[in-house]
Chains A and B, each alone.
Chain A
Amino acid sequence: MTQVFSPSADTWLRLLAGLGAVAVAGVLLVAGGIVRSDYVTGVGVVPRQPVPFSHEHHVGGLGIDCRYCHTSVEVAANAGFPPTHTCMSCHSQIWTGAPMLAPVRESLATDTALRWERVARVPDFVYFDHHVHIAKGVGCVTCHGRVDKMPLLARAEPFQMQWCLDCHRDPAPNLRPSEEVFDMAWSPQGDREALAERLMSENHVQTAHLTDCYTCHR
C-alpha cells in the first residue's frame, strides 16, 4: 500500500495553518484599526461651512463665552446653534462689508437660515443631553477639544460608544468645578483624586445607571 501523504505533507500543513492564523489575526487587527481610525470617526476632519467661522478668533482671541452663542447649553439637550441675529449683534457694526460675511447678511435679509455642517454629531439612536453634562461638571473641552485653538472647527474626539462609555464607567477624572466648565484652559491644581472625589459628591453624580442602555438609547 502506497502512502497517502508525501513526506513533506506535515510541513505544508503546519505552514498553511500558521499562515492562516497570521492572516486571520492580521485581518482582525487591520479591521480594528480601521474602525478606530480618524478616517472612520472623522476626528480632525474640517467640513466645508457656509462661512469660515473661526472659534480661535472669537473664543481664543476675543474671549467670548461659549454661552454667548450656544445659549441653551445649560438648560436643553441641544447646545443651540446661534441664529443669524446673534452674529449680527456685532457684525451689524463690525466688518459690515466683508465679503466673507456676505452669506450672514443675506441670511438676515432674506430670513433664511445659514446651513452649517455639523461637526460633533452622534447617531440618531443616541439621545445626548448637554444640560445634564454641564450640570454635573463636564467641561466643554472634554468632548469638543480646545476650540479656542481651532481656526476652523474639527471634531476633536471619536464620538463612538466606547469613548462615551470610558467616561460613563468612571466619570470622576473628567469632572470640573461648575465655575470652570466653560473655561478652555482649565487644568486641575493640587490633589486630582481628592478633587474628583469631592466633585462626585458635590455634583451628585450617580454612577448606578450610567451604563444602562436606556441612559443614552430609547
Chain B
Amino acid sequence: MDAFSSAAAIANAVRTGKVSAVNVARATLSRIRDLDPCLNAFTALFEVEALAQAAGIDRDRALGRPLGPLAGAPFAVKNLFDVAGVTTLAGSRIRQGAAPAARDADLVARFKAAGAVLVGALNMDEFAYGFVTENAHFGPTRNPHDPTRIAGGSSGGSAAAVAAGLVPLSLGSDTNGSIRIPAGLCGVFGLKPTSGRLPVQGMFPFVHTLDHAGLFARHLADLALGYDAGLDAGDDPISPRLEALASQPLRSGVLGGWFARGLSRPVIAVMDAVGAALNSDQDVILPGAEAARSAAFCLTAFEGGRLHLPDLARRIGDYDPAVGGRLLAGALLPRDIYEAALAHRQGFTAEVLQAFARYDVLIAPVTLGPAPPIGQESMVLDGEEISIRKNLGLYTQPISFVGAPVIATPIRNPGLPLGVQIIAAPGREDLAFAAAARLERMGLATSMPPRAEFSCTATSELLEMQHGHS
C-alpha cells in the first residue's frame, strides 16, 4: 500500500485485515498535512470525524459485519457539498456566516454508506463560476504535475488532491466542464454522468438546469466503484462488468469542426492516438456546437446571476473580484435571451442524439492545451486573445448542454497531462466506461503520478526560481 494505491486495493486490504481503516485514515491525514500547505487543494480537514468513521469500520469488521465496497478508502469533497455540521462555503466568503449543514449531501452519504471515509473539503472557483481554481479567498490550487500551473476548475481541489495521491477518490460538480477540465489538466479520470444520474441534493447550486454531481479517481476501476456507490437503488452498476465492457465492440467517432479548432500540437497527437486506438471515424461534425456553447454561456450567466442577485445587491464587494461582475452581468441579461437559450438546447440535443444513432461514443479534446501557468489571464485561439477563466470550457460546454455522460480520460503523453472526453448518449455510461476501459487496457489511458513527488520544499524552490527570473 502506498499513497497512490487504488480505493479498491485499500478496501480489499481493510476487508481482509491487512490494514486497519484507522491506520489508512491516519496515513492519509498525515500526508495531507505534509503536502497540502503548498498544493492548496484542501480548505478543511475532518480529522476527528474521519478517525471516528474509520474506527467504526474496524469495529464492524471485528464483529464480522459486512463492509461496503469502499471500506476504509479515503475521499474528499468539493466544498459545495453539504457535510453535516460544516458550513458549505462553495468557495466563497459570502457563505462563511451561513449555518452549518444539518445533514450530508446525498452523494456524500452514499459514499459513506459504501464505507468511504470522508477526510476533508476541497478548494474550487467561487460558486463554481470559473475554470481555474484561482480563488481570491482561498488562494490558487496548484497542479501536482507542475506547481507553477493551475489545476483547472472549478473542481480544481478535487482533481489535484487525487492527482497528488492525497486521496484515491473525490467528489466534484460539473456545470460547463468543471470536472472534465481539472481532470484533464491534472491527469486523472473524471466522470460527469448523465444529468440527474447522481444526486445533486445537498450540493450548493450554480445553474440548476446544467449542474451535475460527479467524481474523480486515478484508476478507472475506482471511478466505476465510486459511480456505483452514488447510484440510486435499482440502477445498473458498472464495476461487475467493467472487464467485459473493455472487450465490447464500439462504434467511435472523433469530433471535428468546433472541437478541432485551435488545438495545440500535443492535443492533436493525443486525439490522433485515441482515434486510431478506437478505430474511429474522423471529423464527425456537430454543426450546432459553437451556437450551443454560446447558448450555454448565456444560460449559465443568467441562472447564476439571478441566483445571486440578493447578495449582489447587498454585498458585491465580498465576491471574488473575478466572479462578482460576471454574475451581475448575467443577472442583467434579458429573460428572453435566457428563454431562447433554453429553446436552443432542445435543438442541439436532438442533433447530438442523431449522431449517437451512428456512434456509441464520440471523442473530443478536454482543453486546447496543457494547464496554463497560475496568474496567466489569457490564451490565444485563432490568433485572438481570450480569457482563460471564461473560455477553458470551449470543448466541454456544448456537451454539458446535452446532459450526456462523459469520462475525462487521461492519455499517456510525454508532456504535461492531457485528457480526452469520451462522450456517450444520455443514460449510456456503460459505453463511455467501455471505451475508457479499452484505452486503459491498451496502456493509452493512464493516470501517471507526478514525475517528481510533490513536496513543499520542491515547490518553494521552484517558485523562488520563477520569481527570481521574473
Real binding pair: no
List residues of B whose CB falls within 8 A of some A CB.
none
Give A contacts to B, CB under 8 Å.
none
